[in-house]
A and B are shown apart, each in its own frame.
Chain A
Amino acid sequence: MRRLEALAKLTGREQYVDDLPLDGFLWGMTVRSPAPRGRITAIRFAPDVDWSQFVVVDHQDIPGPNVVALIEQDQPVLAASWVRHVHEPVLLLAHPSRDAVRRAARAIEVVVAPDPPALDFRAAPRPEQIQYGSDNVLKRLKIEKGEVERALARAPVIVAGTYATGAQEHVYLETQGMIAYLDEGVLVVKGSMQCPYYVLTALQHALARDASHVRVLQTPTGGGFGGKEEFPSHIALHAALLALKGGRPVKLIYDRGEDMAATTKRHPALIRHRTGLTRDGRLLAQDIEVVIDGGAYVTLSPVVLSRAIIHAAGPYACDHVRITGRAMFTNAVPFGAFRGFGAPQTQFAGERHMDVIARTLGIDAVELRRTNLLRDGQTTATGQVIRDGTDRLAVLERALELSGYRTKEREHAAFNATHQTERRGIGLATFYHGAGFTGGGELTLKSQLRVAGLPDGRVEVLSASIEMGQGTLTVFTELAAARLGFAAADVTIAAADTARVPNSGPTVASRTTMIVGGLVERACDDLRRRLGLDDSARGAAVQQAIRRWHGEHPGATLCGEAAYEKPPGIEWDDKTYRGDAYGAFGWAAYVAEVEVDLRTCASRVLDFVAVQEVGKVLNPTLARGQVQGGVVQGIGWALMEECKWRDGAMVNNQLTNYLIPTADDVPPVRVAFLENPYPHGAGGAKGLGELPIDGPGPAIVNAVARATGADPRAIPLTAERLMELMERDPDLVHA
């Protein structure tokens, strides 16, 4: 089936939040902290502005607790007397003219008496920089399997390495935005978001309104990638506060500069590996330390750290593993959810480290992975027994075959011997990604979904899982139609409106198709049962029964329901971090071929092959698009996307100087799927959305290392950074 809303998007008819008609509204604007840390001593309003024309909101206008509800209740809606990061919201303004409100925001000076900020997450904080607990550690986590120190002491070889990954900006093409207004006493908030119920909870909490007096609607969302997971709660609260005080609808839309400077990004990370091996490259012990920069509030950093450490050891068998993780408080703009959620950082380190090991031991990088890839019956770092029947070696072999890996190695040797200024290389990464919430997360979410039978015999799927480009509308339509034997036209998907749809959980964590899609199927079954039909009833028989039911119950609602149930045999202990971290993993092997221009040290990806096993592929066009898009976002993170910082805030907050890949910067991404249906996922599917961003970073940097002989350990590997490395090493050929 083709993407359901494709034509609306292609013709520009799709209406995003800033496209919706709205009468008599005010434009909102946020006034922010100029300093990374300090006490607000004054707020000066320029005397030449008539402030009576503006709605002005500060922290005293917040009816409930001044907190954006999330994991910890530490982040204020508006700073009261202290600021903890640059761009922290302090005041809100609204006015009928967008120009006027922008000018007015510049006519307000927030005066801050500075305190010493903590800006380097890698360095131990000085006493005057401590702002969280006794050591600025937001969260510590540990995984232990076997006896690492003993195994390291006995290992014939130890290879150590330190790796670093930079922040990454989401650059969803639609910037963040919200509309808020009162409708007969009900606060209505509409906007671009991944998690309508997160926004609802945050509004209820800080505005002290019960659920019947708040309604949240998701508008078509122009990309999210995690950037619209937790952050939209802030804009929703800001727009709502202005609308409540101003008594008129308020539209609060960030322009690109504000969006890039003030919203979340991927957590920067520093990862150290100490690995014990046999001389022929079998893993004996992995000791891994993971540190991530959380920024100025807790936000989602504990959960990002969790996924980071669980993925840190890679898809390999090793009896002795210790992984310690820390999320650090700094006075940076808080980092947040971004596709992959910690796993891309640790798997960059792990897969780059595998190549460093191969080079140190003088063994082939492919052989090293063949030796160590998990076989069925073996366990991950958390002790999860892998028994899904996927042939992980076959995934690797398919990637080698499709990319022409061995042939390319020979061709590159010849090419590099005959070219003065270009070097070519090929690089590999084998990796995995756990689908759905970690550990007991899905049980905590208790997701619910309904499928309504409509009087005309069609069905409507009611869920809070949203479309942001990844294909939820299309896949849910296909799943319901297939389950009931309906034509796609006889299935509609309800708008994500908290006044109508049950909480099917956040649209994150590669969980929507696999887990919520499973609820679509089961709610269809439940609908049939309520009609007195068995599971074999399909098509016209079901439609007739629905129509008959409505004939017998005029005006009543007919709904099949489903709630999340844990698949059998999954056990997780959150205290010891032992057990089944995920219901299912996607498995992948990616190969990148690069060319480096030795004159500029710019690296270009010539070819990219992405092979993965993600259960049954439900919609080949959508699935391929997820992989290609994820790979290109990963190419950007690996080679060009660099956040420049001053006082913990991004200073290159423009698409002019924060570069993302264009069509001309990347090759076609060649995608192949191996299919091993997952019995507990919708239609046999496993999660897919995040997996593709875990592999490009290490595959590309491994290729650059092989092309040049340099030993890069950090991304983004910009031309400047590679040039520094090349110049530092006198043995390297440099044009």
Chain B
Amino acid sequence: MIPISFTLNGSRVAVEVDAADRLLDTLRYQLALTGTKEGCGEGECGACTVYLDGLPVDACLVPTYQVRGRRVDTIESLDPVALEPFERCGATQCGACTPGVVMTAWWIRGHGELLRTHTIRELMAGNLCRCTGYDGIVDAVKDALGDDGRETGDG
């Protein structure tokens, strides 16, 4: 077992992990942060999206030892009040993809410059949703973006 520490949602945490442990399992089963979901286990669906040093990654593809000394933020770190557009627009149905969807959407919201070169649909294409058909999600992202979203519209 490898002892490591990293910053999780703003606090220092220390865990002992096996070399093969996935960040997804460490978060869910060792640290009881079950907001991050497993959808496919191979980086296709995005349900396990977390931020690693501020960049969205699939936690199922990250060996935990690689986050030693780095910053990890999960869905539990987001401000629920700010999620109102997602509630209003019907961005969630069954909810299994939702934390990952919200993490990606929130990251886009913090990087409005991306909308000069990409559509919301392109930027959300790494998160599979089987319930909504994506319209509720795209509408919510547009709404959360405010003026940025309206300029580029929906591609």
Q: Indicate if B40 sits at the interface (CB-CB under 8 A).
A: yes
Residues of chain A whose beta carbon lies under 8 Å from any beta carbon of chain B? 2-3, 5-16, 18-19, 21, 99, 170-175, 220-225, 255-257, 468-471, 621-622, 624-625, 627-633, 654-656, 660-666, 668-669
Q: Tell me which residues across on chain A come within 8 A of B76, comparing CB atoms.
A: 11-12
B94 touches A669 (CB 8 A): no
Say yes or no: A173-B92 contact (C-beta < 8 A), given A625-B136, A655-B44, A663-B137: no
Assembly CA distance A15 to B42 (angstroms): 22
A663 touches B38 (CB 8 A): no
Q: Nearest Cβ in chain A — how far from B135, in angstroms? A: 5
A669 touches B133 (CB 8 A): yes
Assembly CA distance A662 to B28 (angstroms): 26
Say yes or no: A7-B135 contact (C-beta < 8 A), given A12-B36, A172-B94, A654-B42: no
B44 touches A174 (CB 8 A): no
A655 touches B94 (CB 8 A): no
Assembly CA distance A10 to B93 (angstroms): 10
A6 touches B92 (CB 8 A): yes
Nearest A residue to B78, CB-CB: A11
Q: Tell me which residues across on chain A come within 8 A of B38, comparing CB atoms.
A: 18, 175, 255
Choose among A11, A19, A255, A471 the residue that contacts B75 (Cβ–Cβ < 8 A).
A11
Q: Nearest Cβ in chain A — how far from B128, in angstroms? A: 6
Q: Tell me which residues across on chain A come within 8 A of B83, comparing CB atoms.
A: 7, 10-11
Which among B32, B89, B92 has the greatest number of chain A C-beta atoms within 10 A?
B92
A664 touches B93 (CB 8 A): no
Say yes or no: A10-B86 contact (C-beta < 8 A), given A173-B45, A220-B95, A655-B45: yes
Q: Tell me which residues across on chain B come within 8 A of A663, comparing CB atoms.
A: 120-122, 124-125, 127, 129, 134, 137-138
B88 touches A2 (CB 8 A): yes
Assembly CA distance A454 to B80 (angstroms): 31
Nearest A residue to B44, CB-CB: A655
Q: Tell me which residues across on chain A come within 8 A of B32, comparing CB atoms.
A: 21
Assembly CA distance A16 to B28 (angstroms): 12
Assembly CA distance A173 to B137 (angstroms): 16
Interface of B is mostly: loop
Q: Nearest Cβ in chain B — how far from A461, in angstroms? A: 20
Assembly CA distance A21 to B97 (angstroms): 21
A656 touches B42 (CB 8 A): yes
Q: Tell me which residues across on chain B come within 8 A of A21, comparing CB atoms.
A: 32
Say yes or no: A668-B90 contact (C-beta < 8 A), given A14-B95, A662-B125: no
Assembly CA distance A414 to B35 (angstroms): 51
Assembly CA distance A318 to B120 (angstroms): 47
Assembly CA distance A225 to B96 (angstroms): 14
Choose among B74, B119, B128, B133 the residue that contacts A655 (Cβ–Cβ < 8 A).
B128
Q: Tell me which residues across on chain B come within 8 A of A8, comparing CB atoms.
A: 95
Say yes or no: A668-B41 contact (C-beta < 8 A), given A6-B92, A19-B34, A469-B95: no
Assembly CA distance A660 to B134 (angstroms): 12
Give 7 nearest A-B pairs by CB, closest first. Answer: A12-B35, A469-B94, A222-B96, A9-B95, A628-B133, A469-B93, A173-B96
Q: Tell me which residues across on chain B come within 8 A of A14, comparing CB atoms.
A: 95
Q: Tell me which residues across on chain A come within 8 A of B137, comparing CB atoms.
A: 663
Q: Nearest Cβ in chain A — how far from B149, in angstroms? A: 14
Say yes or no: A656-B132 contact (C-beta < 8 A), given A5-B95, A7-B80: no
Report the contact-size class of chain B (Cβ under 8 Å from the partner).
35 or more
Q: Mark B126-155, 1 if CB is under 8 A from A, else 0.
A: 111111111111100000000000000010
Question: Can you list 26 A-B contacts with CB-CB less than 8 angstroms, sorted by A residue number?
Answer: A7-B83, A10-B92, A11-B75, A11-B78, A13-B35, A15-B34, A19-B34, A171-B128, A173-B129, A173-B130, A225-B130, A255-B41, A621-B89, A625-B131, A625-B132, A625-B135, A625-B136, A627-B133, A633-B133, A655-B128, A656-B42, A660-B128, A663-B121, A664-B125, A668-B135, A668-B138
Assembly CA distance A314 to B11 (angstroms): 61
Q: Tell me which residues across on chain A come within 8 A of B28, comparing CB atoms.
A: 18-19
Q: Tell me which residues across on chain A come within 8 A of B96, comparing CB atoms.
A: 16, 172-174, 222-223
Nearest B residue to A20, CB-CB: B34
B47 touches A173 (CB 8 A): yes
Q: Indicate if B87 sits at the interface (CB-CB under 8 A).
A: yes
B87 touches A666 (CB 8 A): no
Assembly CA distance A6 to B89 (angstroms): 11
Assembly CA distance A669 to B121 (angstroms): 13
Beyond A99-B20, A471-B93, A625-B90, 13 additional pairs, beta carbon < 8 A: A10-B83, A12-B36, A12-B37, A16-B96, A173-B96, A174-B94, A469-B131, A627-B133, A629-B132, A656-B42, A660-B130, A663-B137, A669-B135
Which among B34, B95, B130 has the greatest number of chain A C-beta atoms within 10 A?
B95
Say yes or no: A3-B92 contact (C-beta < 8 A), given A11-B80, A663-B138: yes
B124 touches A664 (CB 8 A): yes
Assembly CA distance A288 to B57 (angstroms): 51
Which among B28, B38, B102, B135 has the greatest number of chain A C-beta atoms within 10 A?
B135
Q: Indicate if B39 sits at the interface (CB-CB under 8 A).
A: yes
Q: Tell me which residues across on chain A come within 8 A of B94, comparing CB atoms.
A: 9, 172-174, 221-224, 468-469
Q: Tell me which residues across on chain A come within 8 A of B126, comparing CB atoms.
A: 662
Nearest B residue to A8, CB-CB: B95
Nearest A residue to B92, CB-CB: A9
Q: Tell me which residues across on chain B come within 8 A of A223, comparing CB atoms.
A: 93-94, 96, 130-131
